[in-house]
Amino acid sequence: MEIMKKLTLEEVGKLAGVSRATVSRVVNGYPHIRPEIRERVQRVIDETGYRPNLLARSLASDRSNIIGLVIPSGAQAVFTDPYFPCLTQGISRGVNSNNLTLALFMVHSAKEEERTILSILGTGLIDGLIVTSDNKGDVFIPELLKHEMPFVQIGRSLYSDKIYRVDTDNIAGSYMATQHLISLGYQRIATIATNRNCSGDDRFTGYCSAFADHGKVVDRKLVVYGDYTVDSGYHAMKQLIPQRPDAVFITSDTMALGGMRALQEANLRVPDDIAVVGYDDLPPAVQANPQLTTVRQPIEQTGFLAVSMLVKILSGDDPPSHQIVLPVELVVRASCGATRLKSTSHPIQEDTYQAN
């Protein structure tokens, strides 16, 4: 395959019959250029496959057009939890539509977190960040605030209402899931929650609120905790089985898959012996046997909107609000024993109920 020679601004200018400075202004999106000149330069760029030198552009404009994605959970979570591929797909779509470059930072330990912070803040090559963590003990957000680094957080923050963030309505989603189980007549409704982050707190709040609104008291023996992993869901369910719940709301699909494996090993049938509801509506939810009733959150849209919000911040335009909270919906399938067959071209039994 023939490799095309990398052109300079001067060479593009000669081909287009304009100066180097004019080419630079077209590449950097300056507005005050005659349309016919812009079209001529753009035609040469398209025909030659010219790509600007990012470092040179960053020196000239003080912008690199590189944004970072920080995932403090580390590589293991990225490659084992289906949530992150869905999220990064939306982020990648936003990055591509804005002609940006994405840099990925995965953090495995507190020491690595410190090094990553120094690397991001020290080089000056990153215009802004999307941070996926809302962990309570995370030191990343305070450091970014201290150094005034532009960023958008995915999730709710403990630190300030002024933080730009994109989130989904975790309280409403878990309330809807729990209320659904109550409405079906289940009496001993357990939960596998997590107390590591704000999202987990909000989902537990929704569970408790549904109990309160129906005049019920949460039985603390029916509350156990996991960490969003399959193994934690498996071990949490093994703790619950001796308490004999008749339904379990599990605050992530990944934990729900582990919980269903524990039920299968205990010869308990879903939903005949115990109903299960998850949270996320990740692809494995419809691959489970039986298919998993779950709260669907718009994960890909969350990532896309986080990029859009960051682009506005970097361009100097204040987004209309510091926060976007997206609605969720309950997708009812076979795992909670209340599925109605919908008219559809696909043999999937599900109904959806939306929380606004």
All structural domains of the chain with their residue ranges: 9-52, 66-168+300-327, 170-297+330-355
As assigned by CATH, the class of the 66-168+300-327 domain is: alpha beta
Is the pLDDT reported for residue 118 higher than 80? no
**Residue 320: pLDDT over 60:** yes
* Mean local confidence (pLDDT), 180-196: 95
The CATH number of 9-52 is: 1.10.260.40
CA dihedral 211, 212, 216, 221 (to 10 degrees): 60
> What distance lies between CA 14 and its chain's CA centroid?
46
pLDDT tens across 23-38, in order?
A: 877 876 666 678 888 8
Predicted pLDDT at 62: 55
Q: Would you say the CATH fold of 170-297+330-355 matches that of 66-168+300-327? A: yes
Mean pLDDT (whole number) for 270-290:
95
**Is the peptide bond prior to 290 cis by the omega test (within 30 degrees of 0)?**
yes
The pTM of this model reads: 0.77
The fold of 170-297+330-355 is Rossmann fold (3.40.50)
Q: Return mean pLDDT, the chain.
A: 84
Q: pLDDT tens digit string along 339-352? A: 432 222 222 234 44
What is the mean pLDDT of the segment spanning 238-261? 97
DSSP 12-76: HHHHHTS-HHHHHHHHTT-S-S-HHHHHHHHHHHHHHT----HHHHHHHHS---EEEEEETT-HH
140 pLDDT higher than 70: yes
Residue 28 φ then ψ, to 5°: -90, 5
* DSSP β-bridge partners for residue 104: 69
Q: For residue 333, how far is the Cα from the chain centroid?
A: 23
Q: Please, which pLDDT band fits residue 297 given cuts at 50, 70 and 90?
A: very high
Task: Report, as an integer, the average pLDDT of 142-159.
Answer: 84
| Structure tokens belonging to residue 230 | 């399959």
